[in-house]
Amino acid sequence: MNSRTSRFRRVRGTRLLAATAAALLAVTGLAACGGDDDGAGDGSGEATELRLGLFPNITHAPALVGVQNGIFAEKFGSDIKLSTTPFNAGPSAIEALFNGAIDATYIGPNPAINGWAQSKGSALHIIAGSTSGGAALVVKPGINSVQDLRGKKIATPQLGNTQDVALRYWLKKQGLKTDTSGGGDVSVLPTPNSEIITAFGSGALDGAWVPEPHLSRLILEHGAKVLLDEKDEWPGGEFVTTHLIVRKEFLDKNPGLVKKLLEGHIAAVDFVNGNQEQAAKAANDQLQALSGNTLKEEILKASFANLTFTVDPVAPSLYGSAKHAEEVDLLDPVDLNGIYHLGPLNDLLKAAGKPEVSAEGGSS
């Protein structure tokens, strides 16, 4: 391990410990103040508000559609208030969850893994899947094989994020070395998605491993081609892109309210799958409400076609991603047993005559 990577892991460890301590202090403070207001007067002893996090990204389409079309509101009824908070980065959503500022959030796999590790399994549970697929390595037209990547500059959205880990692990399997300073056989450059689009268009990058809609933008707007679709690296072509997590304390105190959230989530996923055109429009409308921006019609259509919306959390890919992050020295070993809590989801699926989902070795 080079000295920069060593420093990165030490700094990360220090920050994780600090974040955990802050979270514990925050939870203690909330408890001392009456905290969650979990006993507020609905007669059941449960909360009368659920605070939900989501991201202004098409990979969060079930969340966007569920809010835009009032699907969650219908399941909660008039007695339960739904408050939503948008986030642009997984770490900030996890911090909000730790601090008790939100109760549940749609989020990507690696932030959930990191949150589980930081809290030593005490802060959160994954309660459902949401989205699978929609990520790939795209490159300039002249690059035709993995060996053509030697000496090239390839971007990922963030050091240690889901796509960054996927790229580094895949390159390692091909015998190509990378490091966290952009050196090695292939220069991997963590870069915000919006800047990736600009840099690729200007010729400053040779490729990028990105999720939708940035994947479709690079292809349709800048002539990139797919060198590797990530689905080809996973059994059955499925891997988790977005799932739904809940704060453990909230889940323990409000199982009925979490059930209503899951009812809304299932209904939103069903609507997206059964009404793709309407769902795409609703998602785009909610994107505009959250960020002031919308996707072009062709980008929206291409992104939706490249994503699978499912309540199955695709658990094997989560465990696999964690192992891959360990193998490229971006994650210390972590025991993910217990990260899933799929019992409430499976109860609803069984009652509806739908196939149940599995934690694949985790505790459900």
The Cα 316–Cα 359 span in angstroms is 8
Is residue 35's pLDDT more than 60? no
Q: How far is CA 91 from the centre of its chain?
A: 11
Is residue 34's pLDDT more than 90? no
Q: 290: which residues sit within 8 A by CB, 6+ positions away?
A: 54, 56, 64, 86
pLDDT of amino acid 360: 79
Tell me the H-state helices in 223-353.
248-253, 255-274, 276-291, 297-305, 315-327, 343-351
Mean pLDDT across the chain: 88
Return the structure tokens found at 107.
């989020």
Return the structure tokens found at 116.
């589980």
Q: How far from 345 is each of 153, 328, 331, 357, CA to CA, in Å?
A: 43, 33, 29, 8
pLDDT in tens, 307-326: 999 999 999 999 999 999 99
Q: What angle do CA 351, 316, 121 make, to 5 degrees?
A: 85
Is residue 348's pLDDT more than 90? yes
pLDDT in tens, 123-139: 999 999 999 999 999 99
Q: Give the domain ranges of the chain.
A: 3-134+238-351, 135-236
pLDDT of amino acid 44: 64
Q: In the structure, what pLDDT confidence band is assigned to residue 3 with cuts at 50, 70 and 90? A: very low
Q: In the structure, what pLDDT confidence band is assigned to residue 73 with cuts at 50, 70 and 90? A: very high
CB distance 102 to 96 below 8 Å = yes
Q: Crossing angle for the helix pair 276-291 and 255-274, nearest 10 degrees?
A: 120
CB distance 362 to 340 below 8 Å = yes
Question: Looking at the domain that runs over 3-134+238-351, which CATH code has it been given?
Answer: 3.40.190.10
Q: Which CATH architecture has domain 135-236?
A: 3-Layer(aba) Sandwich (3.40)
Is residue 26's pLDDT more than 80? no
pLDDT in tens, 166-178: 999 999 999 999 9
Q: Is the peptide bond between 344 and the residue preceding it cis, with omega within 30 degrees of 0? A: no
The answer to whether domain 3-134+238-351 and domain 135-236 are alike in fold is: yes
Span 294-309, average pLDDT: 96
Span 32-61, average pLDDT: 71
CA 158, 163, 165, 167 torsion-angle sign:
negative
